[in-house]
Each structure stands twice: as structure tokens, then as C-alpha cells.
Structure 1
């Protein structure tokens, strides 16, 4: 794995917290638009992403930002450079529907790829004062009391929590597309769906969910992929292949001008491959 030398965890965390404050402020004066794919975008999505680009990109160091709201503006050469060198991968507000509904099930996701290899991630949940981030090969988590935690309050997550994922109370998380188009049969545990992936990523990392089965865009997936990998979780596709963590291999960038960079197959996260295979065989 390439050395993530341009990932400064504390700086990224402080940046994410500033973005969260802006998003919360903007939530009180909400305006929404409908994108061509019928999804919702708010003024906050655009503002938060522009702030992230300003804070994180560095042309002198070949550090780019790939963001949900601005990727369509990149030229092919700019996108190729971002994938070749270092880039942050931003979802300014993951869960725009709950955000626009003034419910707390949304968050800010910042992933990082070193020379095209997904290596780091940070997720902030402003509505529940939770945060998770990678640093030095580990994943750290904390829940604040009435506010987001300070950076030094984040503590390493034990990989042993992964063993809790097979408890009968743990549910499988599917995304909205799966819920609308697939049939689930023979699964012995509960199933739930979210309008965001940030909550399932954090709660799977903490051993509070059984797994995730979802078709994801790269800005949905990047941060969580790095966070879960540090904890020993299996990440693969519904066709049985394992995730490579390489942007160009795991995601289809051919449709980026349409604002879509989907995983090349449905992504599956679980404590191990056997669990992943069990989930896949129940979804048709």
C-alpha cells in the first residue's frame, strides 16, 4: 500500500468539523433543487464542497479533490491527474434527503486516495456528534456530548468489535436502489435501509450492524472503505470479487460527466467473506 504521506488526520478532521458547522448553519435557510437523476441537492451541498476544495486541494503538490457536486466540471485530463496522483474524495452531505428533512441521519465524508489507491477516510455525523477517522493504519472513533468531539478525544477502535456483527440483533443494511429492485429471501436477520451510507459505515465499524449491501458512488464509498479495511472487514462485490481499493478498478469513471461514478458491481461489506457470501445468496 502506498505511503499516505499527504494525509494529515488532525487537519482533515478540523476541516471536516468546519464543514459540519457550515452545513448546520445552512440547514436553517434551506433551498433545494432536483438533479437530472431526480436526486435532491441543496445550497449547502455546493457550498460545503467548494469549501472542501479550497481547504484540501493543492495544485503545487498534485493534490486534487473529486467531489459529488463538481466532478462533472473536470476535464478528462484533470480527472486522470487526480486518479494518478493524490486526491481527496468528498461527499459534502451524504444523506441529502434526511438533511433536507431536518433529521440527523446525514454526514460529511472525506476519503483520500494515494496514487489512485484508497487509503484513508474521515466521516463526521453532526446530528449525533459522532466522528470516525483513520490515522497511522488504525481507525479512531468518538461521540461528543452535545458537540462534535475534539480530535484528541478520538480513540482507536478495537478490531475485536467485528465479532459482534454476527449477533442475531445485528441487521443487514441495503441501499434504496436494492430495496426498490431486489427481493430478499432466506435471510435470518433483519434488514434496513438508509438514505445515507455514513451511518452504516460507522455502526458496522463498531460492530453494531451485520453488513452492508449497496451500489455506491465513489464519494459514498471511499472514506468508509479505508475505515473498515483498518479493522479487518471484508470488502467485495456481489459477483464474488474482492475490492482492490484502486479507484480505476473498483469504480466506473466513464459516466462522470453525468455525475455518476458507480462501483463496478454491488459492494458488500461484512466481518468476513463467508458472511458476505451468505448475504449475496439471499438477494435476487
Structure 2
């Protein structure tokens, strides 16, 4: 496991994070062949791979001696309040070990691994890998890189810069609005002149929105769902706000409620909307009743 040693710094090392994400993907793919599942108290599914991938990520990325911590979906409830406070104010990786456990457990490719990063409580960087479709996206030196491999995730040097101008394609009539299951079950979408879809994995909408291939995302999310994608779209100049119009601050304590962390929850304080600009976001939100 020597290759899982964190470089001796507390800043975003994109090459190292990407290498780590690819190794986590290898573990998840291998574990998928011997799948076991459990039902969590909130009736969601967890597999043996979720905890294994997260534990491996923590071993790779956490470095408390260097003020670097990890918040993860499967382990946040094991933290003390003091440990959580250190993570929220220091350098913090935010891990979703398998985003899309339902498709992962169903042996379908619509799942991914998400690693976000916050410094002094502010979301700054992110990495998402999609092992089922061999795609990857990561922030690097103020830019966003993307790649799609053939039969395997691309190597870091094969990733290419995404243009922020791609977001201008988001209002094409073929682009759909992505909503989460809660909105789909409790609200109506009226007067929208484009398609609507729900998801079981938010990382796919984040990756494709970054490429201008979706109209927007409207959802309430836990911090580990949103951290990487939100940081990536921030660098590309996307508009991100709560549905009442209040802009996201990207300060994780201001945008997310950690009061229920012992129950494994750290949800956004309201439903969030992400799109190419403020007016487009307002138009999308106006259609959700």
C-alpha cells in the first residue's frame, strides 16, 4: 500500500488524487463481482464495497498531522464533534465512495466515485470518475480536465481541458433538467419546454452538465453528493444557488447542515439549482410547483 501515501502537503494534488480515485475504482469494480447488500436505517442500500472504498480513501488521503481530514458518507457518523470541527475548518477531502449504489448493486454502469476538497471550510476542487463508462473529470490548476477511455479510465495525461463556453449549450432544447427523487415524488413540473429526468447517481449529471449536455440540476443533496461536482462547476462559471435565489457560498458549514451528522446526514440547507446562469436557473425553478 506504499503507493497510497499522501504527498507531504495540504493542497490539492490533482495527479495524486486522480491516481487514488482510479485505484478506488479498481477496488469497487472487483467488489462488484462478489456483491453483498444491506439496508440502512433510512431504507437506502449499502454494499460491502462502500465501506471498503471509503476506508481505503481515508487511509490514502487523511493526514491529521498536516491538518488534513476526510469526511465520508459511510464514516461521518463515527466522528466526534471535535473531529468534525477540525475537518470543517482545516483541509478536508469529502468522499462519496460509490455514488449510485442502486445502479452499482444492479450491475448497471451509472455509478461513480467522487472526491471533493475544501480548504478552510471552502470547496475548492473535485474529482469524479465513472468506471462504468470510463469517464473522468477533475479540477487542475484552476482548469477542469475531462477524458473518456476505451475499456479503462484514461490516464491523467490523456485528460483534456474543458472550455467554460460549453455551458452555453445547456439551453439547447435537447438538454434535460435533472431532478432528484424527492422532487419527483412530491412536486409537479409544469410549463417546462424540455425533458425532465431523475437520477440514482448525481455524479453523472454533474459530469455531463460540465460539458453542456444537460440543462441543469435541481436537488437537495448531502455534502458528499455535491462537493466534487459543485467545486468543478464553480471553476467553469456555472450559476449555483438555492431555489429561493440565495447564491451558494461554497462554505460547507453555511451551505450544508451538519447537525444530523451522527445519523449520517449533512444535507444542503435548501434545494439547490445549478445551471449556466441566474436567469436560466430562475426559469427552471419557476416550473417546479
What residue in structure 2 maps to residue 253 of structure 1?
A: 258
What residue in structure 2 maps to residue 186 of structure 1?
A: 191
SS of aligned partner of 2:150: coil
Q: How does 1:180-259 map to 2 (within 5 A)?
A: 180-259=185-264
Kindly indicate whether residue 167 of structure 2 is the aligned counterpart of residue 154 of structure 1. Answer: no
What residue in structure 2 maps to residue 39 of structure 1?
A: 44
Paired with 1:239 and 1:166, the residues of 2 have a C-alpha distance of 21
Paired with 1:100 and 1:52, the residues of 2 have a C-alpha distance of 20
Shift of 1:182: 1.1
Paired with 1:255 and 1:132, the residues of 2 have a C-alpha distance of 30
What residue in structure 2 maps to residue 63 of structure 1?
A: 68
Shift of 1:105: 0.3
What residue in structure 2 maps to residue 106 of structure 1?
A: 111
SS of aligned partner of 1:254: coil
What residue in structure 2 maps to residue 51 of structure 1?
A: 56
Instruction: State TM-score, norm by structure 2.
Output: 0.96
Q: CA RMSD in A?
A: 0.8
Paired with 2:196 and 2:58, the residues of 1 have a C-alpha distance of 36
Instruction: State TM-score, norm by structure 1.
Output: 0.98
SS of aligned partner of 1:145: coil
Paired with 2:60 and 2:166, the residues of 1 have a C-alpha distance of 34
Shift of 1:181: 1.1
Shift of 1:5: 5.5
Q: 1:6 aligns with which of 11, 15, 18?
A: 11
Q: How does 1:55-134 map to 2 (within 5 A)?
A: 55-134=60-139
Shift of 1:279: 1.0
Structure 2 gaps of 5+ residues are: 1-8
Q: 2:272 aligns with which of 267, 276, 282?
A: 267
Shift of 1:146: 1.0
SS of aligned partner of 1:146: coil
Shift of 1:239: 1.0
Shift of 1:167: 0.3
Deviations 1:146-175 (A, max 9, x none): 110000011110111111101000000001
Whether the 8 Å CA contact 2:116–2:123 is kept in 1: the answer is yes
Structure 1 gaps of 5+ residues are: none
Paired with 1:140 and 1:164, the residues of 2 have a C-alpha distance of 18
Paired with 1:5 and 1:15, the residues of 2 have a C-alpha distance of 16
SS of aligned partner of 2:260: helix
Deviations 1:179-226 (A, max 9, x none): 111111111110011101000000000000000001100000000011
Paired with 2:157 and 2:10, the residues of 1 have a C-alpha distance of 20
